[in-house]
Structure 1
Amino acid sequence: MSIVAIIEFDEAGVATGSRLGDAATPVLRVDDLGPTRGDGVFETASLVHGNVQALEAHLARFVQSAAMLELPRPDVEIWRDAVRAVAASLTSQGVTSGSIKFVLTRGVEGSGVPTGWVLGTASPDFTRERTDGIRVVLLDRGYRHDVPQTAPWLLAGAKTLSYAVNRAAQREAARRGADDVLFVSSDGYLLEGPTSSLLLRLGSRLVTPRVDLGILAGTTQADLFTWAESAGYATGYELLTPDDLESADAAWLVSSVRHVAPVRSVDGRHRAVDGELTGRLNAALDARTS
């Protein structure tokens, strides 16, 4: 089941509103710079029992990514209304767990008019990943941890449509008998997954890689930190290495739709899963009302 809202723009490229449409009806022209060049940005939010979770954080990151690509600034009110309309339509059709992706491209080359839409779908069942855990491989991302400062034109930290490398990394993980990837900088620091953030438990602390390493600031990870602090855990953003992962009491890859997936092996080496805390973390995410 899929629902789409199309963002409407005037001839000057200014968003004027949105309308629900048929997800089977084409939205893109074949010469749109989104599919031809990957020239655009997107976000994916989770829909749980009618609530679009972390919507404001996703919208803020959407605006930030658009700025990094020098795209027109998204009108947050119009995009928020479109997301909520899609969520309401999905919920009215009985979807209790879904994902809502909103996309902005530069549009047809030379037109000056962006293309935008919001797509809502029912989510797959991630029960196995959330309970049994996932097998992860470490892959070199190919640049240093300070690339945002040394090469800002690489757009590290922007959520762009250019996901060919991320998909290639996931295929490499499958070839190695794993489920997912954790990227490492060329100078040896842990970064993020292709579609997820890393979370480690070190005793009574929950930590994640620093966001100035050219990685996305995780919306799900931020909500988990808020919950963890209320539950008595210290939290932190740190420079982390594979040795920290090896010695951690528990590790997870966290993302908007799959939520919290415990890491049960790294490069084929088994590691313990903290099932009790995993359950509490996923319950905390499901309990969010915004």
Structure 2
Amino acid sequence: MYSSIFGGIVLDPMMMMIPIDDHMVHRGHGVFDTAIIFNGFLYELDAHLERFQRSASLAKISPPFSGSAFRSILIQLTEKSKCKNGTLRYWLSAGSGNFSLSPSDCPTPALYAIVIKHDMSQWKEGVKVITSSIPMKTPLFATMKNVNYLPNVLAQMEAEEKGAFASIWVDDEGYIAEGPNMNVAFVNQDTELVIPKFDKILAGCTENRLLELAPKLVEQGRLKAVKTAHISVEEAKAAAEMMFVGSSLPVAPIIMWDDKPIGNGKVGKLTLALSDLLWNDMAAGPETHRIRVTYE
């Protein structure tokens, strides 16, 4: 773990703590992001850091030092962890110093980061989802990756209580939004990849990368088009294929929604082809998207 309060990296789990008077803990005033560590490379770190900085600006928190310095710390932390497969998670808090509503008495914002080891494997099995009854966040908070995740937690719990993998949010205009901590994508009956617009939801770094990679399937004649659009529930449930897209997946096929099948109720070939694009990119993509970690 890295902590700007300690001013360094600690390897002892007993030291991996955040002060209870941290404004992120008792007021939820903080932002965060996550990058994948895959086969000794940090995947899409710069895209996640760009979003992290944008979230910090919206949350009115100024980092205690430059983004390039924090980027360097994150790479060093990954090196020290010796973890070659897992997640790198990091937070920016308004800081510690009091239990007030305002952070005005907090001397300085705080940065934290931690490496969590786990192995990833490509999803081959389909999952079931439900439509969430939990109100989704307003656009300001949905487009900012902040630590206020109670709606997300309740939406996930609701899905699990109903025997589903996760839930789907629908916005107040009846358009498909996102899952509790992942984006969604569809292949419609015209073999077009359609992704919900990011105007009211978090712009997923993995889904943005998929938008860059998916035209390869258009070139191969397997997809007709790749686009972002507002998608009604009726259009979504009539799709040929559906999937979750997110950093830790990166693609999970969805075969059942509210107890009704998506398409033929089986994992779609185009879903797996899109998944292959991301997995190949993680394993052997350009250096602009993969940072090699030098382990001691």
TM-score bin, normalised by smaller chain: 0.7 to 0.9
User: 2:125 matched to which residue of 1?
Assistant: 132
CA spacing shift, 1:175–1:253, aligned 2, 3 Å = same
CA spacing shift, 1:167–1:187, aligned 2, 3 Å = same
Which of these residues, 177, 201, 222, is aligned with residue 191 of structure 1? 177
User: 1:285 matched to which residue of 2?
Assistant: 278
User: 2:88 matched to which residue of 1?
Assistant: 100
2:72 counterpart of 1:84: no
Which of these residues, 254, 269, 278, is aligned with residue 276 of structure 1? 269
Q: Normalising by structure 1, what TM-score? A: 0.84
Q: Normalising by structure 2, what TM-score? A: 0.83
- Give the alignment of 1:144-223 within 5 angstroms: 147-148=138-139, 152=140, 155-202=141-188, 203-213=190-200, 215-223=201-209
Question: Shift of residue 82 of structure 1?
Answer: 2.0
Deviations 1:43-102 (A, max 9, x none): 011111111111111011101100111010462112211221233234x3xx44211111
Deviations 1:216-246 (A, max 9, x none): 1011111111111123142211111111111
Q: Within 1, Cα distance between the matches of 2:212 and 2:117? A: 27
More strand per residue: 1
User: 1:15 matched to which residue of 2?
Assistant: none
Contact map agreement 1:28 1:115 (CA 8 A) in 2: no
Contact map agreement 1:103 1:118 (CA 8 A) in 2: yes
User: 1:54 matched to which residue of 2?
Assistant: 44
User: 2:25 matched to which residue of 1?
Assistant: 35
SS at match of 2:33: strand
Contact map agreement 2:35 2:247 (CA 8 A) in 1: yes
SS at match of 1:58: helix
CA spacing shift, 1:85–1:275, aligned 2, 3 Å = farther
Question: Shift of residue 140 of structure 1?
Answer: 4.2
Contact map agreement 1:133 1:262 (CA 8 A) in 2: yes
User: 1:7 matched to which residue of 2?
Assistant: 4
Q: Within 2, Cα distance between the matches of 1:280 and 1:106? A: 42
Aligned length: 266
Q: Within 2, Cα distance between the matches of 1:194 and 1:126? A: 21
Gaps of 5+ in 2: 99-104, 291-296
Contact map agreement 1:48 1:286 (CA 8 A) in 2: no
More displaced 10-residue stretch of structure 1: 265-274 or 220-229? 265-274
Contact map agreement 2:91 2:113 (CA 8 A) in 1: yes
Gaps of 5+ in 1: 10-17
- Aligned amino acid, residue 107 of structure 1: G
User: 2:294 matched to which residue of 1?
Assistant: none
